[in-house]
């Protein structure tokens, strides 16, 4: 009888251990944020050239707008680690990553203009010149 009780205790301990490991694994995986689905800009947008010269004034203006509108999610250096990023279901992206740096100014401008949840559209909130200034500032982030 004692051996049956001991065997049952061992089985119960094994099941408890496996349940704890399963929970820990699923919790760790739940905290990993997906990079999100691809977000390609339309071909016409990709071809659009930036009409705003990337000079000191434009970059300064873009930085001011970035701090006001983008920093809370995208972070100080555009690494996707802003104060609100932890509350989002997706990764905010990294503006120094090749996927971003290889994008055209037109594609970036289009994404700022259109938005995609959870990122809002800035098409009506910022003027064209302001959105182009943000593009110019984003290009300075390394």
The first and second tokens of residue 73, run together, are 């999610």
Q: How confident is the model at residue 17 (pLDDT cuts 50, 70, 90)?
A: very low
Q: How confident is the model at residue 23 (pLDDT cuts 50, 70, 90)?
A: very low
pTM (2 d.p.): 0.76
Query: Is 116 strand, coil or helix?
Result: strand
Average pLDDT, integer, range 104-124: 97
């Amino acid at each position: 009888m004692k051996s049956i009780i001991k065997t049952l205790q061992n089985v119960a301990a094994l099941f408890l251990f496996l349940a704890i490991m399963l929970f820990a694994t699923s919790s760790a995986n739940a905290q990993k944020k997906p990079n999100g689905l691809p977000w390609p800009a339309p071909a016409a947008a990709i071809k659009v050239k930036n009409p705003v010269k990337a000079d000191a004034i434009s970059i300064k203006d873009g930085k001011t707008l970035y701090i006001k509108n983008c920093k809370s999610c995208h972070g100080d250096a555009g690494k996707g680690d802003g104060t609100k990023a932890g509350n989002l279901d997706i990764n905010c992206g990294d503006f120094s990553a090749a996927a971003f740096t290889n994008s055209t100014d037109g594609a970036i401008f289009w994404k700022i203009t259109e938005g995609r949840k959870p990122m809002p559209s800035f098409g009506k909130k910022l003027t064209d010149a302001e959105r182009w200034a943000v593009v110019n500032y984003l290009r300075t982030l390394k």
